[in-house]
Structure 1
Amino acid sequence: MSEPTRLSVFKTYKLYVGGRFPRSESGRVYEVTRATSAAGAAAKGKSRSKGEGGGEWLANAPLSSRKDARDAVVAARKAFGGWSGATAYNRGQVLYRVAEMLQGRREQFVREVADAEGLSRSGAGAVVDAAIDRWVWYAGWTDKIGQIAGGANPVAGPYLNLSTPEPTGVVTVLAPQESSFLGLVSVIAPAIATGNTVVAVASERAPLPALSLGEVLATSDVPGGVVNILSGRTAEIAAPLAAHQDVNAIDLTGAAAQLAAELEVAAADNLKRVLRPRAEDWTADPGTDRLTAFLETKTVWHPTGSLGASGSAY
């Protein structure tokens, strides 16, 4: 007697906003298909139907609307006070916990990255391992970047003049289009490591690893709203975010040249910080550029000498 056949239970991908998993308020979705590569093209077309892009259908991803973008900004702003006020040491612990959770779900991400980027299983494994290592790397920087970006300044007078870095605020991140996971981690992790909150727009063609990252963040120690992840048409979502008066900065990494120019103009309305797109090797040592990209310098003056009878000195 033959074994009964089972229907496949396909995963429902949702947005990650404010620590919750809403569908797009518009109810729209779009088809996500498997990337093809020279090595993997011969293996396609087995059991699932072809998607609208011609590749093998993987899932329907939420097609975010302007309302979803505004909701994500509200969630990020609400979370900013608590996250920026946490100690740098505590933020480092939280980021390290994310790396632990990613390690526990490594096989899922290997599969999703292989499908998203047309990589072999071993190639996708290397990408996922590099992404986990990058979370650990940025976790280690949270309580050290202050010594790099701040310091004591010499002044002509009986004062101590100290500069210290503070987070910019709510940062919109347009994730890389081709590096759906390692590139995504490389733009989100440094922004939150330094105390900012993030609204991330996932790779338009390959959003599934980003949406799964939301599931990891929800079950780690990252407070809801610190990272918000949207999927859909990059240009459609980015336009209202670039013009939003409560967004303090925007990373244009995932925008094409013409779109980036348009978004930079929109961002100028409230003097947002803008990180322009540039050629990136996501496998290279990331350095500290992205850690300092969304930091502001606060300068404090203190008089030197003793105070009253206590003899305490500043």
Structure 2
Amino acid sequence: MSDRLTVLKTYKLYVGGKFPRSESGRVYEVTDGKSGEWLANAPLSSRKDGRDAVVAARKAFGAWSGATAYNRGQVLYRVAEMLEGRREQFVREVSAAEGLGTSSKSGTAKAAAVVDAAIDRWVWYAGWTDKIGQVVGGANPVAGPFLNLSTPEPTGVVAVLAPQDSSFLGLISVIAPVIASGNTVVVITSEKSPLPALSLGEVLATSDVPGGVVNILSGKASEIAPSLAAHQDVNGIDLTGADAELAKQLEIAAADNLKRVRRPQPVDDFTADPGTDRLTYFLETKTVWHPTGSLGASGSAY
């Protein structure tokens, strides 16, 4: 019999490609969703952590949005590869986080199905990166000697409130489409089940995702989200994980700089076909006019 003590995992935030502890130094207890057993202490993020995450996301935005669609697709596919290699770890964490039962075969099977669906979702969005332009953009008919072209462009830095009851599949369903379309993201994890999201940061750090493209904060959305909604350098906010009262408060704050806001939907089943709604929501359309004929021959454009 060994006297060796197990080395418990220290969960940290993921900001700018690094793993800082919360600036506040605070943590809170995370328990098993079924048995109530203590699992770990998670960082309790502060508003300062949120501001640091926005700075990191803005710094990463230029290079990420300017990368080729093919490159972004390869990076997202690499995330799926790395998750596949750590599948057993995430099955355990999802099972405990969502109260599926870590010791029962049925609970493990359900958690495995969730993790497999999450991996497949990364692959699905990876395949969409080089197809968004063809679906959303295109040439528009005009009555005149002009070409009129519409091209999708990413909105910028997007704050995301992850769903509370789908700690892994729901989390990936709200961040993968945002970064697939060229945005960078600051995500607030499920408050009661943050551990799978914090472990995802470790996967992202080894998956060719540039630092700052995804920033993961754990803690209370009611404390962190208002400052993100009012932040002048945040361009959009997804309120999926907000309750009605918090969502209303954040919408009012977001109106100050005309953020694009995705309101919580009445029904959002993350096990269903993801569709393209989330993929295109945080995109803007740039329209370019180009003269044809004799004017076009000179190369003039405006």
CA–CA separation in structure 2 for the residues paired with 1:7 and 1:245? 48
CA–CA separation in structure 2 for the residues paired with 1:17 and 1:26? 15
CA–CA separation in structure 1 for the residues paired with 2:217 and 2:164? 14
Which residue of the other structure, out of 241, 244, 269, is the alignment partner of 1:281?
A: 269
Q: Is residue 2:17 matched to residue 1:30?
A: no
CA–CA separation in structure 2 for the residues paired with 1:21 and 1:309? 55
1:99 equivalent in structure 2: 80
How many residue pairs match? The answer is: 292
| 1:4-45 deviation line (CA, Å, top 9, x unaligned) | 322121100000000000000110000000001xxxxxxx4x
CA–CA separation in structure 1 for the residues paired with 2:276 and 2:5? 48
Shift of 1:134: 0.2
Change in Cα spacing, 1:265 to 1:308, as seen in structure 2 (3 Å) is closer
CA–CA separation in structure 1 for the residues paired with 2:108 and 2:46? 34
Q: Aligned runs of 1:254-265 on 2, under 5 Å?
A: 254-265=241-252
CA–CA separation in structure 2 for the residues paired with 1:309 and 1:255? 54
Counterpart of 2:115, as a letter, is V
2:104 equivalent in structure 1: none
Counterpart of 1:294, as a letter, is F
| 1:143-177 deviation line (CA, Å, top 9, x unaligned) | 00111111111111111000010000000000000
* TM-score of the two chains, using structure 1 as the length reference: 0.91
2:218 equivalent in structure 1: 231
2:208 equivalent in structure 1: 221
CA–CA separation in structure 2 for the residues paired with 1:163 and 1:309? 21
Q: Aligned runs of 1:95-244 on 2, under 5 Å?
A: 95-119=76-100, 120-244=107-231
Cα contact 2:290–2:296 (8 A) shared by 1: no
2:103 equivalent in structure 1: none
Change in Cα spacing, 1:309 to 1:264, as seen in structure 2 (3 Å) is closer
| 1:189-225 deviation line (CA, Å, top 9, x unaligned) | 0000000000000000000000000000001110000
CA–CA separation in structure 2 for the residues paired with 1:4 and 1:91? 47
Percentage of matched positions with identical amino acids: 83
CA–CA separation in structure 2 for the residues paired with 1:294 and 1:308? 33
Counterpart of 1:281, as a letter, is D
1:71 equivalent in structure 2: 52
CA–CA separation in structure 1 for the residues paired with 2:97 and 2:2? 32
CA–CA separation in structure 1 for the residues paired with 2:218 and 2:190? 7
Q: Is residue 2:13 matched to residue 1:15?
A: yes
Task: List alignment gaps of at least 5 residues for structure 2.
Answer: 101-106
CA–CA separation in structure 2 for the residues paired with 1:122 and 1:34? 17
Between structure 1 and structure 2, the one with the greater Rg is 1
Determine helix, strand or coil for the equivalent of 1:128: helix
1:301 equivalent in structure 2: 289
* TM-score of the two chains, using structure 2 as the length reference: 0.95
Shift of 1:307: 7.3
CA–CA separation in structure 2 for the residues paired with 1:62 and 1:284? 31
Counterpart of 1:205, as a letter, is K
Counterpart of 1:62, as a letter, is P
CA–CA separation in structure 2 for the residues paired with 1:22 and 1:309? 56
CA–CA separation in structure 2 for the residues paired with 1:4 and 1:215? 30
Determine helix, strand or coil for the equivalent of 1:157: coil
Task: List alignment gaps of at least 5 residues for structure 1.
Answer: 37-43, 45-54
Change in Cα spacing, 1:310 to 1:153, as seen in structure 2 (3 Å) is closer
CA–CA separation in structure 1 for the residues paired with 2:95 and 2:224? 26
Counterpart of 2:216, as a letter, is I
Change in Cα spacing, 1:161 to 1:254, as seen in structure 2 (3 Å) is same
**RMSD across aligned positions (CA):** 1.3
Counterpart of 1:283, as a letter, is T
CA–CA separation in structure 2 for the residues paired with 1:309 and 1:64? 58
